[in-house]
Amino acid sequence: MEVETRQRRIRIWVAYDGTNYHGWQIQDNGITIEEELNRALTELLGQEIRVIGASRTDAGVHALMNVAVFDTSGRIPAEKICYALNARLPEDIRILRSEEVPEDWHPRHCESRKTYEYRICRSEIQQPLRRLYTYHVYRELNLEAMTEAAHFLEGEHDFQSFCQAGSQAETTVRRIYQVVLEEQGEELVIRVTGNGFLYNMVRIIVGTLLEVGAGRLRPEDIPLILEKRDRGAAGPTAPAKGLTLVKYEFLTSGGNSLEP
């Protein structure tokens, strides 16, 4: 097989269990997904590699599908990097696919749709096998009111009230395509699809919907909370462990999504 040694841009689709990581982005205080990928790729390709991630998920947040790119002049065929990389990664990080993309393709500089799922375990006693992937909430929840509240979040809005202080986003306007509540056995799934998310935005949305479910906020309070552009107006931030990035779709060239 003939393989060119020119510089190539490679995209990898990454799934991970966030339990044991301090999030995506390199930190001083603990090991991260980005760090593990850089280490494994540098070992594999024999040159210093630094990935650029699409979504820099928080500590404890999981992904069925996140995306990163890196440049390399290494000779391994793009599609095979996936397997070679998995052999050098811990079992809680898996590369689902690797492929070459145009050299100017950047995962954060192109239109995309992302879907997050937040899972709430509603049984009286938290199920031990689900403890790492769900938030345990045992109380009456008015799902009808929560669904009504969710609809108020759909569309293009300034989500500053749903953004943790400390965000460096240039604008706090985002478009949410859909917020869906779905009961799966003893779990309530809140599925949010949007073109981008601010710092802690999904977790604050979930914390706010839970306030509605408990009757401490009304569905029609949501437009007022959005209007205030004040983090203090929204509900608390739900814990990270219930959150999973489940789907990434790119809408521009070099794009496509991976079937989960």
Residue from 5, 28, 48, 128 binding a second copy (CB under 8 A): 128
Query: Using the rule CB under 8 A, which residue among 8, 17, 100, 110 binds a second copy?
Result: 17
58 catalytic? Reply is yes
* Nearest to a second copy of 88, 94 (CB atom): 94
The helix (run of H) or strand (run of E) holding residue 250 is strand 243-250
- Can you tell me the distance from the alpha carbon of 215 to that of 146, in angstroms, rounded to the nearest whole number? 9
Q: Which of 186, 61, 59 is nearest to 117 (CA)?
A: 61
The residue (of 137 and 217) whose beta carbon lies closer to a second copy is 137
C-alpha span between 16 and 238 (Å, rounded): 20
User: Cα–Cα distance between 43 and 37 in angstroms, integer?
Assistant: 10
| Shortest separation between residue 240's beta carbon and a second copy, angstroms | 14
112-121 and 135-136 as β-strands: parallel, antiparallel, unpaired? parallel
Out of 127, 142, 178, 195, the residue judged to bind a second copy by CB under 8 A: 127
Please choose, from the candidates 245, 215, 28, 239, the residue with its C-alpha nearest in 3D space to the C-alpha of residue 115: 245
Residue list 81-110, contact with a second copy (CB under 8 A): 82, 86, 91-96
22 touching a second copy, by CB under 8 A: no
* Per annotation, catalytic residue among 58, 71, 158, 230: 58
| Nearest-10 crossing angle of helices 201-213, 143-153 | 140
Residue labelled with tokens 């869906």: 180
Is 71 among the residues that bind a second copy (CB under 8 A)?
Answer: no
The amino acid that residue 254 corresponds to is: G
129 binds a second copy (CB under 8 A): yes
Our finding on whether 133 is near a second copy (CB under 8 A) is: yes
* Nearest distance from C-beta of residue 128 to a second copy, angstroms: 4
Considering only 1, 87, 125, 165, the residue that binds a second copy (CB under 8 A) is 125
Tokens 């928080």 -> residue: 58
Task: Write out the residues near a second copy by the rule CB under 8 A.
Answer: 15-17, 62, 64, 82, 86, 91-96, 125-129, 131, 133, 244
Catalytic residues: 58
